[in-house]
Amino acid sequence: MTMDMVFTYVNGADPAHVAKRSAIGAVSGHWMQSPASGRGIWYNDVGEILFSVRSVLKYMPWIGTIFIVTDEQVPPVDRELLDSGRVRIIDHREIIPAEFRPAFASTIIESFLHRIPGLSEIYLYNNDDFMHGSPIAPDEFRYVLPDGSQRLRLRTVPGILRHLIRTLSDWSPRALPRANPYTAGISNAGGLLHRRCGLPWNSIVSPRHVTQTYRISTAKRIETVLAVELQAARERHIRNHGQLSWGTLAYSLECHWNGAERRPHRPVIAGTAADELFLDFSRCAGPRQMTAAWNRVRASRAKFICLNNIPASEKTTFHSIMVAKGLADPV
């Protein structure tokens, strides 16, 4: 029962991409993200996808095809993987209708991934800055019942937490900063599930910031049940406070419809083989914090690693550490 892997990729320094982004931001008035703004860091690229793909091949050799979804760009992956068909590039035009392009919000792009031609019924999804540091077995993501049906194992966080943050920030805007679009998207999706699908708030969940697991049939059913709301959300093109978190919709309804198992969270311990390591380099206030962050990456053997917002100035350090961790080539 093969599972494929899907990556999303963007190079925010590409002039064509910058021009598209600026045009949409000017028209929509929502969260325009230019390279000069702090929010432009969302689109940074220091070649993470090269090592992310190699880490999948090294630690998840049972994965079927690796798909990379991008908008008229060529990700820096090993040529032999593309030539062999082990890695396939999927352009937005192949899966996203013209009325919703260009799409710069991950919540929108993720809602179309299940339309990739030839994709396995159960598939995994990584951002281009997700990678792996230890072997991972298929049963981390799904298990088979005696009748042959498959249930998913999902790494989740409660959606109610983000909803409370959003509610408090809206209720007291002078005392608290406004919730960011990520939090707003989870809150919006949770409210929709509560109103339209009757889900209690304690059953609304979101994916953790690690490899995510999805089912094509669940995605198609969501497109039918929530067609009107998805249409409006997809037309937004760019990150904003009205977006819907696709992960929240899919994870909550996968649990509701198919009885998915929620995986327990095991905290990160530096220097050990703990399951997850998440580092946001934009929060490193100076050289000491940056050095400490890289030391954690060197020491970690976490199965699931997210290296978020690596500055362009740290590209050489990042590459050297990835090579030292055994990702010098795709074999």
Nearest to 45 by CA among 7, 5, 79: 7
pLDDT score at 38: 40
pLDDT (tens digit, 9 = 90+) per residue, 93-114? Answer: 999 999 999 999 999 999 999 9
Q: Are 165 and 183 in contact (CB under 8 A)?
A: yes
Angle at CA of residue 227, ends 221 and 231, nearest 5°: 135
Q: CA-CA distance, 91 to 63, in Å (whole number)?
A: 21
Backbone angle region of 214, left / alpha / beta, with phi > 0 → left and psi within -120 to 50 → alpha:
beta
Question: 3-class DSSP state for residue 177?
Answer: coil
Token readout for 267 is: 């905290």
Helix (H) or strand (E) holding 224: helix 216-225
Q: pLDDT digit string (tens) for 152-199?
A: 999 999 999 999 999 888 887 665 677 899 999 999 999 999 999 999
Q: How many CB atoms lie within 10 A of CB 154?
A: 24
Tell me: cis bond preceding 35? Omega within 30 of 0 counts.
Answer: no
Residue 310: phi and psi, rounded to 5, are -70, 125
Structure tokens at 192: 């929709």
How confident is the model at residue 41, as a pLDDT?
A: 54
pLDDT < 70 regions, the chain? 25-43, 173-176, 264-273
For residue 242, how many other CB atoms are within 10 A of its CB? 13
| pLDDT computed for residue 45 by the predictor | 86
CA–CA distance, 159 with 148 (Å, rounded to integer): 31
| pTM tops 0.85, yes or no | yes
